[in-house]
Structure 1
Amino acid sequence: MKINDFKLECYFGIYEFTAPYLLTQSDCESMSTRELLDMEKGAEEAYLNQWLGYTETWGDPELRELIAGLYKDMTTEDVLVFHGAQEAIFGYMNVMLNEGDHMIAMYPNYQSAYEVANSVPNCEFSKWYIKDDGEKWVVDFDALEALIKPNTKVIAVNSPNNPTGYTFTNEEIKQLCDICKKHDIYLFSDEVYKGLELDGEKREWMADYYHKCVSLGVMSKAYGLAGLRVGWLVTKDHETLEKVVKFKHYMSICDSAPSEFLSKVALRHSDQLLERSKNIIKDNLKLVDKFFDKYPNLFEKKAITCGPVAFHKLLIDMPVKEFCQLAVDKKGVLLLPSDIYDMEGEYFRMGYGRKGVPESLAKFEEFLIEEKFV
C-alpha cells in the first residue's frame, strides 16, 4: 500500500511535545492512573493483580458489554474493540473500499477517514464540504445527495466535527441515515466526542438509527484518556464486523490488558468523566468568548454546540499558516492552520478541553500585543 503522509500527525510530531502552550488540542484533560483508580473502591488492588497475557481479539467481554450499554439497542455481539480509533478507521476503510468504489467524506475531516480511498486504485473520493455561513459552520444535505453516484459505497462523517465543531442535531442524524438507507450506502460515523453536548440536546448514536452504520468511539477524546489507546466500532452489521476483525489480525491482534481494565473503570463512571470534561470546556469557552469579543477586527469567532474544538477565521492580511508559525516561534503557542486540512480560507483550530487553556490564551494575547497585531 502507498498512502500519503498524515499531515496533522507530521505537524504535531514537530510541536506537540515541544511547544509549551497548546491551544489547539482536540482531546480533553487527562488524569493519572491513580486518579482514575480512586474513582472505584477496590480498583487499585484489582489493577495490580491484572494478568498481563494476551486479550481477546474482539475485546474484553465486560468492556464490550459496557460499550454496548452506551447505545440504545446494542449487545456485546455488536461491539469490536481496537487499539485506538485510528486502527478502527484504518481497518474498516481497508475492508470496505475496493477498486471501482466511490466514497464521500464530510470535509474537513480526520485524514485517515478518506486517505485509504486515495490509496486504492481507481477508488473515487468526493468531499462533502461543511460551509462557513459567516457566523457558524453549516451543512447542505442537497449537496450531499448530489455527490452520490451508482457506485457510492461509503459516506464518512464526523460529528461533533473536528476541526470545525459542527454537530448534527438529532433531526439531522435521522435525515442523514434516511439518505443512506434510500441509496443503500454504508455510513461510517466518527462520534469520538459523543457526550460533550453544550446546548442541552443529547445526541443519539447513529448506529442506533441505521443497521449499515458503524459508530466509532474512543477513550481518548471526550473521556480524556488518550494514553489508554482503546477505541471501538459498534454496529448491527455483523458481516462487516467479521471482515474487519480479520483485518485486525494483521494489525494489533488484540489490545492491552491494563488499558482494557482501566477503560472498564472509566466507563463505569462515564457520566462523571463526561461531566468533568464538559465543565472544563464551558469554563474555557467563557474566557475564549471574551477574548474574541476584544478583537473583532482580527478574528471571526465560530460558535460550537458540542465538543472541545472550534475553527475560527483570521481576518488580517496574512496567510494563516504564517500567522500560526509566528505564534509558535515567538511565544510557543500552538495553533493548527487550515492548510493542514487542505482547506481554502484562513482558519485555525482552537481546543478548549484542557486545563492549560487560560495560560495558553494569555500567552496568545501577549503574542498579539508584542507583534503589534493590536
Structure 2
Amino acid sequence: MKIKDFKLECYFGLYEFTAPYLLTQSDCESMRTEELLAMEPGAQEGYLKQWLGYTETWGDPDLRRAIAGLYQSMSAENVLVFHGAQEAIFGYMNVMLDPGDHMIAMYPNYQSAYEVANSVPGCELSKWYVRDDGEKWVVDFDELESLIRPNTKLLAVNSPNNPTGYTFTNAEIEKLCEICRRHDIYLFSDEVYKGLEMDGEKRDWMADHYDKCVSLGVMSKAYGLAGLRVGWLVSRDTALLDKVVKFKHYMSICCSAPSEYLSKVALKHGDALLKRNTDLIRENIKIADKFFEKYDYLFEKKPISCGPVAFHKLLIDMPVKEFCQMAVDKKGVLLLPADIYDMDGQYFRMGYGRKGVPEALEKFEEFLIENGFTR
C-alpha cells in the first residue's frame, strides 16, 4: 500500500513538543490520572488492581455498553472499540473502499478520512468543500448532490468540522442522512467533538438517524483525554463492523486494559468533563474575541458554534505559511496554516480548548508588535 505523508502529523512532529505556546491544538485540556480517578469513589483501587493481560478485540464489554449509552438507539453489539480514532478511520476506509468506487469527502477534513481513497487504485475522490461566505463557513447541499455519481459508495463528513468549526444543525443532519438514504450511500461521520455545543442545540449522533451510517467517537478531543488512545465506531450495520474488526486483527488486535478502565471512569462523568471543556472554550473565545477586535485590520475572525477550533483569515499581503513560520520561529507561537490541508487562501487554525490560550495570545500579540505588524 502506498499512501501520502500525513501532513498535519509531520508538521506537529516538528513543533508540538518544542514550541512553548500552542495556539492551534485541536483537543481540549487534559488532566492527570489521579484527577480522573478522584472523580469516581473506589476507582483508584480498581485501577491499581487492573489485570494487564489481553483485552477483547471488540473492546471491554462494560466500556461498549457505556459508549452505546451515549446514543439513542444502540446497544453494546453496535460498538467496536479502537486504539484511538486514527485506527478506526484507517480500518473502516480500507474495508469499505475498492477499485472502481467513488467517494465524497467533506473538505477540509482529517487527512486519513480521504487519503485512503487516494491510495486505492481506481478509487475516485471528490471533495465537498466547506466554503467561506465572507463572514462564516458554510456548506451547499445542492453542491453535494451534484457530486454524487452512480458508483458513489461513501460520503465522509466531520462535524464539528476540524479546522473550520462548521457544525451541522440537527435539521441538516436529517437532510444529510436523507440524501445518503435516497442514493444508497454509506455515511462515515467523524463526530469526535460532539458534546461541545455552545449554541444551545445539542446535536444528535448521525448513526441514530441512518442504518448505513458509522459514527466515530474518541476520548481524545471533546473529553480531553488523548493519552488514553481510545476511540470507537458505532453503527446499526453490525455486518459491516464484523468486517472492520477482522481488519483490526492486523492493527492493534486489542486496546490497552488500563486505558479502557480509565475510559469507563471518564464516561461515567462524561457530562462533567464536557461541561468543564465547554466552559473553558467559552472563556477563551471571550479573550480571543477582544484580541481580534483589536487587530481587525490584520485578521478576519470566523465564528464557531461548537468545538474547540476555528479557521481565521490573515488579511495582510504575506503568505499565511510564511506568517505562521515566522510566529513559531521568532516567538514560539504555533499556528496551523491552510497549506497543511492543501487549501488555498490565507487561513490558519486556532484552538480554544486549552488553559494556555490566554498566555499564548499574549505572546502572539508580542510577536505582532515586535515584528511590525501593528499600526
TM over 0.5: yes
- The CA deviation string for residues 31-74 of structure 1, in whole angstroms up to 9 with x for no partner, is 00000000010000000000000000000000000000000010
SS in 2 for 1:142: helix
Q: Within 2, Cα distance between the matches of 1:341 and 1:270?
A: 31
Cross-structure match for 2:89: 89
Root-mean-square deviation (CA, aligned residues, Å) is 0.3
Instruction: Kindly indicate whether residue 175 of structure 2 is the aligned counterpart of residue 175 of structure 1.
Output: yes
Instruction: Kindly indicate whether residue 247 of structure 2 is the aligned counterpart of residue 240 of structure 1.
Output: no
Cross-structure match for 1:52: 52
- The CA deviation string for residues 109-135 of structure 1, in whole angstroms up to 9 with x for no partner, is 000000000000010000000000011
Return the letter of the residue paired with 1:140.
Answer: D
Return the letter of the residue paired with 1:13.
Answer: G
Cross-structure match for 1:277: 277
Q: Within 2, Cα distance between the matches of 1:206 and 1:350?
A: 26
Report the CA distance between 1:296 and its aligned residue. Answer: 1.0
Instruction: Kindly indicate whether residue 139 of structure 2 is the aligned counterpart of residue 139 of structure 1.
Output: yes
How do residues 50-129 of structure 1 correspond to structure 2 at under 5 angstroms? 50-129=50-129
Return the letter of the residue paired with 1:248.
Answer: K
Cross-structure match for 1:323: 323
Return the letter of the residue paired with 1:317.
Answer: D
Provide runs of 4+ in structure 1 moved above 6 Å: none
- The CA deviation string for residues 300-332 of structure 1, in whole angstroms up to 9 with x for no partner, is 000000000000000000000000000000000
Q: Within 2, Cα distance between the matches of 1:58 and 1:239?
A: 13
Report the CA distance between 1:239 and its aligned residue. Answer: 1.2
Question: Percent of pairs identical after alignment?
Answer: 80
Cross-structure match for 1:314: 314
Q: Within 1, Cα distance between the matches of 2:174 and 2:319?
A: 38
Number of aligned residues: 374
Q: Within 2, Cα distance between the matches of 1:107 and 1:350?
A: 17
- The CA deviation string for residues 123-180 of structure 1, in whole angstroms up to 9 with x for no partner, is 0000000000011000000000000000001000000000000000000000000000
Q: Within 2, Cα distance between the matches of 1:101 and 1:64?
A: 31
Taking structure 2 as the reference length, the TM-score comes to 1.00
SS in 2 for 1:59: coil
SS in 2 for 1:54: coil
Q: Within 1, Cα distance between the matches of 2:105 and 2:196?
A: 23
Cross-structure match for 2:227: 227
Cross-structure match for 2:304: 304
Unaligned runs of 5+ in 1: none
Q: Within 1, Cα distance between the matches of 2:363 and 2:240?
A: 48
Cross-structure match for 1:367: 367
Q: Within 1, Cα distance between the matches of 2:43 and 2:64?
A: 19
Taking structure 1 as the reference length, the TM-score comes to 1.00
Q: Within 2, Cα distance between the matches of 1:131 and 1:326?
A: 27
SS in 2 for 1:154: strand
Unaligned runs of 5+ in 2: none
Instruction: Kindly indicate whether residue 13 of structure 2 is the aligned counterpart of residue 13 of structure 1.
Output: yes
How do residues 132-211 of structure 1 correspond to structure 2 at under 5 angstroms? 132-211=132-211
Q: Within 2, Cα distance between the matches of 1:178 and 1:319?
A: 40
Report the CA distance between 1:85 and its aligned residue. Answer: 0.1
